[in-house]
Amino acid sequence: MREKFSDDEWATVLRAPAAVISAVIGSSLGGPVSIMKEVGAAVNSFEQAAKERRENPLIAEILVALKERFDAFSFLGNSEGDTTLGDVDVVALGSDPAKAVAMVREAGEVLNRNAPGPESDEYRTWLLQIGRNVAEAAPEGGFMGIGGEQVNDAEREILAQLREALGLSEQAA
């Protein structure tokens, strides 16, 4: 699948998971414990995909490419010497969820041009699932996790924007 994309297009597709995670976390910042739970949910989404979605060549190549590029905590900012993902700074994206959604939209457009079909559709669905997993990881609001909403209005709104950016139907959400 990689051969269907220029280097810039491939980098755009590789940035999409980080953009989804950033958009959801940034849409409704919780405390440090909530953020760690949300990051943990994102990591679990990757681990689950490695087990359950490895038959999809697009997802498999993306997982391998991302694994090669990230060390244990490089997702917190730019990875030294990595020009493919060099402009992915999840902290900055989290403070501007609209920019993160625009990055996801751009990835969706690249997928439409270069790899339309079931592999691309499954990747889009997986990206939205990552967003849902992150949103559902920790309640927002309340006091010390008590009385908060599992998924609040801001997170529901950003998930709807991500769904639209990925060109998925409401049934996919």
Spell out the SS3 assignment of 109-136: HHHHHHCCCHHHHHHHHHHHHHHHHHHH
Spell out the SS3 assignment of 95-108: CCHHHHHHHHHHHH
Structure tokens at 117: 């079909």
Which spans in the chain are helix H? 7-27, 32-52, 57-69, 90-94, 97-114, 118-136, 153-165
Question: What backbone phi and psi angles, to 5 degrees, belong to 110?
Answer: -60, -45
Give the chain's length.
173
Q: What is the pTM of this model?
A: 0.83
Structure tokens at 172: 């996919």
pLDDT in tens, 65-80: 888 776 534 544 444 5
pLDDT in tens, 80-133: 545 454 555 556 666 788 899 999 999 999 999 999 899 999 999 999 999 999
